[in-house]
Each structure stands twice: as structure tokens, then as C-alpha cells.
Chains A and B, each alone.
Chain A
Amino acid sequence: DSGVTQTPKHLITATGQRVTLRCSPRSGDLSVYWYQQSLDQGLQFLIQYYNGEERAKGNILERFSAQQFPDLHSELNLSSLELGDSALYFCASSVQLAGSTDTQYFGPGTRLTVL
């Protein structure tokens, strides 16, 4: 158990819908990262937050957005869902910010299925 929690574990929805994925980082971790894992794209970094502020952006679609709240939990919002958005979405957390040797600890993931 990494200490990172994600809810829900599974999510099934229809095209065009909007969903919210939730992540609680390990106690004491200030950085939260979101990744998407799909068969065709592999593991892709989406976005990083540090202490409530967006710090880095990867291959995140405009239909997707995220935020980190004062209690440090984070939410990833996916809207206008398409079949291709079906994937495993991971959240990871780490203690420090940039240029450090800190480890990213991964949650168990949320499996999103878009029908």
C-alpha cells in the first residue's frame, strides 16, 4: 500500500459525459501528479500540482482539467468523453518539488470505461 488513495476504482460512463476522479496523496506529500495509461499510448504524464498550484503540464487534452485543494487532495475532471478516453488513470504523490530525488508513489488507479 503506497498511501495514495484514488476513488472510484472503476467508472463506466457514456460518450459525451463528464466525470471526476479523486486522489488523496500520502500524508506530508505536497506534489500530486496525474498519469494516463492506455494500450496505445502507454503511460503518459498529464499534469502536476504542488501545494495547490499547477507546476507542469504534459499531454493533457483541453477537455481535461485538474485542481488541488487546500487539504492537498486533487481531482481530475474529464469532460465530453470519447471512446478513446477509456484508460487507467493514476495519481502519484511526492514530498518535494523540482530537481529533487524524491520518489513518486502511485495510487491503485481508476479504470475509466467510456461506452
Chain B
Amino acid sequence: AQSVTQLGSHVSVSEGALVLLRCNYSSSVPPYLFWYVQYPNQGLQLLLKYTSAATLVKGINGFEAEFKKSETSFHLTKPSAHMSDAAEYFCAVKANTGFQKLVFGTGTRLLVSP
């Protein structure tokens, strides 16, 4: 079975500061990993995904994530936060075999202050 743990339900940063959102996964088979963002009153939008092609994955809006098998982590980073980055971020995992569903973490709300 697959699962993800997101550390910190809320993360606060100042505009221009580094964003680091943590995600650790558990999977019995090689996983596919995803980060989605949810803006208020909207659906989920894919930021980036890891599908074993490269361990450092670049996504939209300047975000990137690094797959670290030894640490079972897939943390999301952005060098400089913008006010528009304020949203909820979800890490998700899917097994790379069979009819496997996306399993989401509990989400991390990113707050950006001026």
C-alpha cells in the first residue's frame, strides 16, 4: 500500500523567502509522486510529477522537487516565494503498476506575508 505524510499543516514564509514543503512517502513498489496545488475555491492543479525519469523534477511557477529514495522524500521547493503562491499544497503517491489510485497527503497550507 502507498501513503504520504506531509509535515506541517501550515507553513508561513515572507515574500522572497525560500519555500520548503515536506513530503515523505511509503510504497511497497516504485512509486510515482505528484505535487498538486489548490487555490481557494478551485480544483487541484498539477505542479509537477516524478515518474522515475529524473530525480530532480521541475514544475510550473518555479517549483521543483527532488526524489530521494534513501530518505523516502519528495520535498517541494521554490527559491523565492510570491504572494500568489499562497494556497494549499498536496503531495500524492501512486504505485506504478495496476489500477492504483492517487493517495493524497493531508495538505500543507502555505501562507505568504509581505
* A residues in contact (CB < 8 Å) with B: 2, 4, 33, 42-45, 48, 55-56, 58, 90, 92, 97-99, 101, 103-109
Contact = CB atoms under 8 A, between A and B. Distances in A.
Interface of B: 32, 34, 36, 42-46, 49, 51, 90, 96-107
A97 B96 CA distance: 11
Contact of A45 (B44, B90, B103): B103
B51 A101 contact: yes
A91 to B, nearest CB: 9
A2 B32 CA distance: 21
Scoring A97, A104, A105, A109 by chain B CB atoms within 10 A of each residue's CB, the highest score goes to: A104
A106 B99 contact: no
A2 B36 CA distance: 13
Contacts of A48: 99, 101
Contacts, number: 54
B47 to A, nearest CB: 11
A105 B107 contact: no
B88 to A, nearest CB: 10
A49 to B, nearest CB: 11
A107 B99 contact: no
Contact of A42 (B42, B45, B102, B106): B106
A42 B36 CA distance: 14
B90 A43 contact: yes
A43 B94 CA distance: 14
Scoring A43, A45, A58 by chain B CB atoms within 10 A of each residue's CB, the highest score goes to: A43
Contact of A98 (B51, B98, B103): B98
A2 B96 contact: no
A101 B50 CA distance: 9
Given A43-B90, A56-B99, A56-B101, A106 B106 contact: no
A45 B90 CA distance: 14
Given A42-B106, A43-B90, A106 B43 contact: yes
A48 B102 CA distance: 11
